Amino acid sequence: METTNIDRARDLIIRARSVFVLTGAGISAESGIPTFRGTDGLWKNYSTTDLATPEAFKNNPTLVWEWYHWRQRIISQAQPNPAHQAIVQLEKHAERFLLLTQNVDGLHVRAGSKNVLELHGNIFRARCLLCGATLRHLPPDTEQESDLPRCTCGGLLRPDVVWFGETIPQDIWHTALTFLTKTEVAIICGTSGVVWPAASIPEIARHEGIATIEVNLEPTGISTMVDVSIQGKAGKLLPQLLHN
Ligand code: OAD
């Protein structure tokens, strides 16, 4: 019988004692959360320069907060899908496991993943521009927002996410790289692989001789770089990779 890419990927995963996973917006697509690129992607209808840079926030914090509160509402109503759940199972069965996500939606944690690092922050967290405190921040009850969110110290709060032009949390990146370079398998799922530094992970893994598996709806710039590339929905494919 012909060995399929799913068989090859499953085999690599079953034999690995240590598994690293990188996820992007595609893993939450089946939960109803829009991705960023592609036909229905957020960046088709919204401008990164108006909404996702420190300058955008400085110029129009009300507009930026409105957009983040809108996204928070969508995410609050979403549920983790079978792809998130498959990653929880993967963690339970691996001796060593690390999940690095570019997603700010918190769905991996809600699904039950434990060893998760959020590279781009979390949409339900805010950070004070004055005192630097971080706190949980939920959208106001009504969509008619009046005042900008403020910290108890009086400082203006901003979403605690990484915007374009900002550096990612160095401690998280360092921990992820340390794990990655010692792992046996790296699974890259639901990311277009164009935003750095996450985009460098397949290349680093390949350089280290780590077995790499991509799961994505369509071929990406990563597809030719990995050992096994599988196209389809993550919610269908990831559970298949874990079962014989
Ligand atoms: P993108 O929107 O760039 O890419 C999503 C990827 O998921 C695409 O390659 C899709 O083909 C794939 N996809 C969509 N639905 C899928 C499904 N059901 N199953 C499997 N794959 C699916 O999202 P990211 O790569 O995560 O950063 O984007 C990276 C960063 O760019 C984001 O974290 C965000 C954005 O700008 C910031 O906001 C800083």
- 3-state DSSP percent of the chain in helix, strand and coil, to 5: 40, 20, 40
244 pLDDT more than 70: no
Are residues 231 and 175 part of one domain? yes
Distance 153 CA to ligand 1 centre (A): 36
Are residues 87 and 72 part of one domain? no
Q: What is the mean pLDDT of residues 172-195?
A: 97
Residue 32 CA to residue 41 CA, distance in Å, equals: 12
Are residues 25 and 134 part of one domain? no
Distance 150 CA to ligand 1 centre (A): 31
Kindly state the percentage of the chain with pLDDT values over 70.
Answer: 97
Are residues 135 and 228 part of one domain? no
Are residues 213 and 93 part of one domain? yes
pLDDT of residue 81: 98
- Domains in the chain: how many in total? 2
Write the residue with the smallest CA distance to atom 38 of ligand 1.
Answer: 163
Are residues 135 and 205 part of one domain? no
Measured from the Cα of 41, ligand 1's closest atom is 2
Are residues 116 and 6 part of one domain? yes
Q: Which residues line ligand 1 (CB under 6 A)?
A: 24-26, 29-30, 35-38, 41, 52, 102, 120, 162, 190-192, 195, 216-218, 220, 233-234
pLDDT of residue 144: 60
CATH code of 5's domain: 3.40.50.1220
1 pLDDT more than 80: no
Range of the domain at 40: 34-77+123-161
Query: 1 pairs with which residues across the strands?
Result: none
Mutate to test the pocket of ligand 1, among 23, 37, 49 (most ligand atoms within 8 A of CB): 37
Residue 120 designated active-site: yes
Q: What is the mean pLDDT of residues 179-189?
A: 98
Residue 96 CA to residue 180 CA, distance in Å, equals: 11
Are residues 140 and 65 part of one domain? yes
Q: Which two tokens stand for residue 83?
A: 């792809």
pLDDT digits (tens, 9 = 90+) for 67-90: 999 999 999 999 999 999 999 999
pLDDT digits (tens, 9 = 90+) for 53-65: 999 999 999 999 9
Active-site residue, from 93, 120, 137, 174: 120
Mutate to test the pocket of ligand 1, among 64, 107, 195 (most ligand atoms within 8 A of CB): 195
pLDDT digits (tens, 9 = 90+) for 5-50: 999 999 999 999 999 999 999 999 999 999 999 888 888 888 888 8
Measured from the Cα of 104, ligand 1's closest atom is 33
Are residues 103 and 133 part of one domain? no
Domain boundary among the residues 161, 177, 211 is at 161
Mean predicted lDDT score pLDDT of the chain = 94
Mutate to test the pocket of ligand 1, among 23, 31, 33, 35 (most ligand atoms within 8 A of CB): 35
Are residues 237 and 197 part of one domain? yes
Domain boundary among the residues 100, 135, 161 is at 161
Q: Please list, in sequence order, all residues whose beta carbon lies within 8 angstroms of the beta carbon of residue 2, skipping any fewer than 6 positions away.
A: none
pLDDT digits (tens, 9 = 90+) for 99-149: 999 999 999 999 999 999 999 999 999 999 999 999 999 988 766 656 899
Are residues 101 and 214 part of one domain? yes
The answer to whether the CB of 108 falls within 8 A of the CB of 101 is: yes
Q: How far is CA 66 from CA 9, 60, 96, in A?
A: 42, 10, 40
Are residues 111 and 50 part of one domain? no
CATH code of 141's domain: 3.30.1600.10
Distance 70 CA to ligand 1 centre (A): 19
